[in-house]
Every structure is written in C-alpha cells, then in structure tokens.
Amino acid sequence: MPTKPLQFAAFLIAACALSTGVRAQNVYRCGDSYSQTPCPGAKLIEPQDSRQPAQKKQTDTATHSNASLAQELQKERLAQEKLAKSGPPPIVATAVAKAPQSSASATVLTPKRIRPQLKKPEQFVAEVPGTEKKVSSKPASKKTSAP
C-alpha cells in the first residue's frame, strides 16, 4: 500500500517537469543592445550555440575554475580585512648578523635630524576695511635760540 503514494508522487513530478517544457526566450535586437522585450523596430534573433561539444566543455571547466578561484580569493581578502581590523601586527625584534669587519674599518655616518626652524610671526594688527592707516608724526622739537 505505501508504494501507491510514492508512485503517484513520482508521476506528478514527471508530469510537472514535462508540462513546463524548457524553451529558450526570444531575444530582440534594439539598435546596439539586446533585450527580452521587443522595442519599436526590433529584430528577432534566434540564439544558437555554434560551439563544438569539446569547446563547450572547455568553457564550462574554465568557468568553474574561475568561480572556485574567486571564492578562494574572497576568503583570503576577508581574512586580511579581519586581521587589519584587529590592529597592527606586533613588532618583533630580530637579531642582525654582523658582517665580518675588514682591517680597514668603514666609518658609518648617521645623518643629523633636521629640525624645522621656527620663526616668530610678524606682528598682526587688525584694521577696519576702508580706513587708512594714520601716519603719526612727532612734532619737531623746537630749539630755543638765544637772541
């Protein structure tokens, strides 16, 4: 008895698959673009795949390999972003191996740090626009002459 519902379900699934019918959509060329809906003056184009089966298989494998590579790169990028958000990596001190010195020792000169020279700003005087600066003149001192 339990096989009847399974057979009926299988029959319904097969009927649905056959009734939908896989059919390509119409493609219309409207000027320099292609669309599924016609436009005024559109030309109906029959899409056909002129590739050989080997070419199609090669294209499909390339598409799948590109998709898997893209997923790997995305995972790597997300890991790098997560690492960058956590802060800068700690600084690790490493030992520097010294080169054997020859009999003529070389003098290593270290450059001096150049400090910016700070100069005093010029004196600033606020003025009202439209007024001229008055020139102050000192009165000439009068010398008294004896008559």
Q: What would the mean pLDDT of 112-116 be, rounded to a whole number?
A: 75
Mean pLDDT calculated for residue range 23-49: 82
pLDDT tens, residue by residue, 38-91: 888 888 888 777 888 899 899 999 999 999 999 999 999 999 998 888 876 666
* Among the ranges given (24-28, 115-119, 127-131), the one the predictor scored with the smallest mean pLDDT: 115-119
Q: Which of 51, 54, 28 is nearest to 39 (CA)?
A: 28
DSSP H helices, the chain, are 3-20, 53-85
The pTM (predicted TM-score) of the whole model is 0.32
pLDDT for res 60: 92
Is-contact 29 45, C-beta < 8 A?
Answer: yes
Q: Domain spans of the chain?
A: 50-85
Q: DSSP state, 68?
A: H
Check: CB of residue 61 under 8 Å from CB of residue 68. no
